[in-house]
A and B are shown apart, each in its own frame.
Chain A
Amino acid sequence: MRRLETVVASLFALLAFAGPAGAQGTLRIGMTASDIPYSGGQPDNGFEGFRFVGYQIYEPLIAWDLTRSDRPAALVPGLAESWEVRKADPTKWVFKLRRNVKFHDGSPFTADAVVFTWESIKKKDAPHFDTYGSAQVIPRLASLKAMKKLDDHTVEIETNTPTSFVPYQVCYMMIVSPVQWQKFKDWRKFADQPSGTGPFRLTKLVPRERLELEAFKEYWNPSRRPKVDKAIFLPMPEPTTRLAALRSGQVDWIEVPPPDAIPQLKAAGFQIVMNTYPHNWTHTLRLDKEPWNNKLVRKAANYAIDRVGICKSLLNDTCAPASGITYKGHPWYGTPKETYEYNPTKAKELLRQAGFDGASKRPVKAVHLISTSGSGQMLPLPMNELVQKNLKEVGIDIDLQPVEWNALTQRFRVGFTGENAGMNAWNISFNFQEPWSAFGRFFHSKSVVPASLNTMPYINPEVDKLLDEAAQAFDIGRQNEILAKLHEIVVDDAPWIFIVHDLNPRAMSARVKGFVPPQSWFVDLTSVSVGK
């Protein structure tokens, strides 16, 4: 009977004036995810899961510095105060842990928690093995082999081979509280009442609807205690829903507003916050078959794209032209010979050199697999139509084959075989947050599918050598130099059509203050406050 009353009362509610509710000191964010990311430790939903759940509730041993906008986020001490590789045996790293850190359940953070977390990811027969969380994070911890406790505040991490990329992997491992897990002995229940050491603690989780966090008062770092009392996250996969929710005052901040809504949002007094970050929207080319097996043709394609036009006319300046994997000013950019500005004349000249005369009997033809939507894919259909038009203008004829996002990610991993045999490229966006995701997985000969994501396949012994060298360069400055050199070679080889870097637009109400957009996929919410 209560239901009937609810129904009847709802009709009256239509008439009720209902102003937007907004508590002071509460930050409400509309996410693009369709569900609340997994809160049991190692998050799902890609980097958005890390952004809003992982790095808010938990912390890794090594963290990202998200307090600056002017350079790519660097690694800084997290739950570890310091770390170093053993000189005598570079497969072993010693991490000195921070003291006086508490989990949300009140238990102290010690080396046991690190080992417990490691076992939950790696030790399949452990009672606390987390099948789901493990599947999420394992690909990101590929070089790590073992972790052991030396004393309460020291752990040793062992790797399969000596590699300097260890800190870039450790930063993805969220440390969970063993004490809290023992209360439930079940990860699903733990995920409902999780306990980490992060600046926010979970207070309410309604699956698929909302996640509520509150400031953790005993957070160990006084300079990173949250300014807001509460942070609420709502999943809103539909861009128009996010837009309506922001404009109606239901949330204070939305991820990725639709680009064509940006002028009206600005006019209505909303802030649009953007910055470059390690994101790349690209066409990954097939290098073992015509037409993209010819470097001149690949370069021609790169000179044919009007990137400024795409960003201006389609995306309202929410992207920046890409002339490589990373962007100018990034430590791995270097000084590539080719600059890939928009130059159709040069593109035609390169095609002529390659033996493809626009009007001759040898047309350049290719089939590119694209998605209709998808995480990080921006506006795949209109953007690809512009790419297609640009290429057509210089005499490259590409046929676009749109498939649904899930199907594209599945087909991409397999490489250009089976049902992909007739394809010549795919359009998937990537992150280049660390050396492995930027270069290792795509350009090393060892990464050829199915081992990793070198689908092209791109085989260049010099690049292999540089990658191996970078993995041996334990000095970060030296490592960056090597990677910049590698980047110069890859840009010159043009295995991709570099198109744009997303600028990660966010729209916020004018009441949101203090947010620093970092050059990263992640954010620091502790500096944010919400005014009246």
Chain B
Amino acid sequence: MWAYVGRRLLLAIPTLLGASIIVFAMVHLAPGDPMSAVMPVDASQADIEAARRMYGFDQPLPVQYLRWLGRVAQGDLGASIATRRPVLQDVYAALKNSLVLALSASVLSFGIGIALGLFAAFQRGRALDKLMSAVAIVGVSVPHYWAGIILIIIFSVQLNWLPAMGAAAEDGVLEYLKHMALPTIALALIPLGVLTRVVRSAALDILAQEFVLALRAKGLGRAMVFAHVVKNSAPQILTVLGLQFGFALGGSVLVETVFSWPGTGYLMNLAIFQRDLPLLQGIILVLATFFVVLNLAVDLAQTLVDPRIARH
């Protein structure tokens, strides 16, 4: 078990290296440069060159990359070009906000999605099943940034119930929760749809198996049959849960931007437009690490619920 965990963790290193090289290369392939974002628009090329030398951006790319890597190996993610704040500090603050949002959206969507999915499976073919499936399809299909804008129009602009943007964490828990409400709903829509569908089909697969028939023939009550179905479909659902949580954390660029929610997605968006390479590299590295750990955690959880997986 521990050897397995160790091997998986070692495998993470090439994954992370690969991710950082790709990001580094892509930012340099894209037109534009960090100095243009840092310097005033009316600075001349001569001013820019002087600043570039001052920052050490006149070095060849491989040298810049290796220097960055050397610092990361010592636990230093460097400083943002645009703000000179330590990247670690910025990414940490953003990650906290994203994590909170991803968790609340996951709790909301997992809870409702699993309930709806199981319900639909047990009601298979009836009107309620069709309704649940329709809900699921809407959840998967509606662009969540669009849904975010609609939520803002209804709850912020028209009803004035909830704030339209920001996090306001420094104004206390209540304010933070108010600011969290709309982005949470927007972010929960897709996983809600995905989960409803996955849970429904997973439960249906199990329901179609002979042992369920056997259980029923044995005279087990509905509740007990239900428990068996849930337990047997758990591994498949767990995988999806892990992936969806990962997406909620890393893939919320659009939702965070629509709501100016100061998380990693919003930060990444800013870093891309400002060509703020150290910051972008830092976010990607942290998020990639998070994904690796998350996948590992899901795999371990699966072996716990289904010992057959450990044998492979």
Contact = CB atoms under 8 A, between A and B. Distances in A.
Interface in B254-276: 257-260, 262, 266-267, 270, 273-275
Contacts, number: 193
B165 interface: yes
A204 interface: yes
B96 to A, nearest CB: 9
Nearest to A135: B51
B104 interface: yes
A46 to B, nearest CB: 6
Contacts of B82: 35, 44
Contacts of B177: 6, 9-10, 13
Contacts of B93: 207
A207 B83 contact: yes
A427 to B, nearest CB: 13
Contact of B47 (A138, A376, A407): A138
A462 interface: no
A414 B42 contact: no
A250 B164 contact: yes
B309 interface: no
Given A3-B103, A135-B38, A204-B170, A18 B162 contact: yes
B104 A35 contact: no
A18 B162 CA distance: 6
Contacts of B45: 413-415, 449-450
A48 to B, nearest CB: 11
B49 interface: yes
Given A16-B178, A238-B260, A406-B274, A132 B84 contact: yes
A138 to B, nearest CB: 6
A248 B160 CA distance: 5
A11 B152 CA distance: 17
A35 B42 contact: no
B41 A46 contact: yes
Contacts of A234: 165-166
A209 B262 contact: yes
Contacts of B169: 206
A406 B160 contact: no
A208 B54 contact: no
Nearest to A13: B177
A450 B100 contact: no
Interface string A309-321: 0000000000000
Interface string B74-103: 000000001111000010010000011001
A131 interface: yes
Contacts of B166: 209-210, 234, 245, 250
A250 B165 contact: yes
A188 B84 contact: yes
A83 interface: no
A276 to B, nearest CB: 20
A131 B83 CA distance: 12
Contacts of A450: 44-46, 49
| Range for the number of chain A residues in contact with chain B | 35 or more
Nearest to A38: B83
A451 B90 contact: no
A451 B36 contact: no
Interface string A228-242: 000000111110110
B70 interface: no
A506 interface: no
Interface in B209-267: 257-260, 262, 266-267
Contacts of A236: 165, 260
A3 B157 CA distance: 29
Contact of A6 (B31, B38, B100, B171): B100
A139 B40 contact: yes
Contacts of B50: 138
Contacts of A238: 257-258, 260
B53 to A, nearest CB: 11
Contact of B270 (A16, A34, A139): A34
Interface string B163-182: 11111111101111110110
- Count chain A CB atoms within 10 A of each CB in B44, B55, B171, B262 and give the residue with the most: B44
A245 B31 contact: no
A14 B177 CA distance: 8
Contacts of A7: 100, 103-104, 107
A451 B45 CA distance: 7
Contacts of B48: 413
A350 B112 CA distance: 70
Nearest to A250: B163
A161 B306 CA distance: 82
Contacts of A180: none
Contacts of A17: 161
B299 interface: no
A3 B173 CA distance: 11
29 contacts: A6-B177, A10-B104, A10-B184, A11-B108, A18-B162, A19-B161, A34-B273, A44-B38, A46-B41, A136-B40, A139-B44, A208-B267, A234-B166, A238-B257, A241-B258, A244-B152, A248-B152, A250-B165, A406-B273, A407-B30, A407-B32, A407-B36, A409-B36, A410-B33, A413-B44, A413-B48, A415-B45, A441-B44, A453-B42
| Top 7 closest pairs, chain A to chain B, by CB | A450-B45, A406-B32, A244-B164, A248-B156, A407-B31, A13-B177, A407-B32
Interface of B: 30-33, 35-51, 54-55, 82-85, 90, 93, 99-100, 103-104, 107-108, 149, 152-153, 156-157, 160-171, 173-178, 180-181, 184-185, 257-260, 262, 266-267, 270, 273-275
Interface of A: 3-4, 6-11, 13-14, 16-21, 34-35, 38, 44, 46, 131-132, 135-136, 138-140, 187-188, 204, 206-210, 234-238, 240-241, 244-245, 247-250, 375-376, 403-407, 409-411, 413-415, 428, 430-431, 437, 441, 447, 449-453
